[in-house]
């Protein structure tokens, strides 16, 4: 749902010239944009796999890997300063919980 609000806020701001609301301001930028991209990727990937009747596809694992990748890329951009993980507590927390739930 948060991904849908993020997308709707960006689309209406750009194409309909509608001002941001409290909700769209809260759910935009940083971790919310990452959430939108991951939601789109997992949605498309699961649809493609389903349409070709391929082997079982675990969207939870793909989601966890993408969240972990986003944290690792941010860590790399911060010259591997572990303290930078504290700057994005929500993203780091989401990645940790997603990985735990997908692989535990």
Whether the CB-CB separation of 64 and 101 falls below 8 Å is answered with yes
pLDDT at 54: 63
Q: What would the pLDDT profile of 17-59 be if each residue is shown by its tens digit?
A: 888 888 888 888 889 999 999 999 988 888 887 777 666 668 8
Task: List CB contacts of 91: < 8 A, sequence separation 6 or more.
Answer: 30, 31, 34, 67, 70, 71, 74
The residue ranges of every structural domain in the chain are 2-103
Tokens 């572990």 belong to which residue? 82
| Percent share of the chain, pLDDT over 90 | 52
């Amino acid at each position: 749902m948060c991904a849908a609000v993020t997308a709707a806020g960006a689309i209406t701001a750009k194409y309909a010239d509608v001002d941001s609301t409290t909700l769209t301001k809260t759910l935009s930028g940083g971790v919310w944009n990452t959430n939108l991209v991951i939601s789109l990727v997992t949605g498309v990937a699961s649809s493609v796999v389903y349409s070709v009747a391929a082997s079982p596809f675990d969207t939870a694992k793909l989601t966890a890997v993408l969240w972990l990748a986003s944290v690792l890329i941010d860590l790399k951009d911060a010259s591997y300063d572990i303290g930078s993980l504290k700057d994005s507590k929500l993203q780091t927390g989401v990645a940790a919980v997603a990985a735990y739930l997908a692989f535990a």
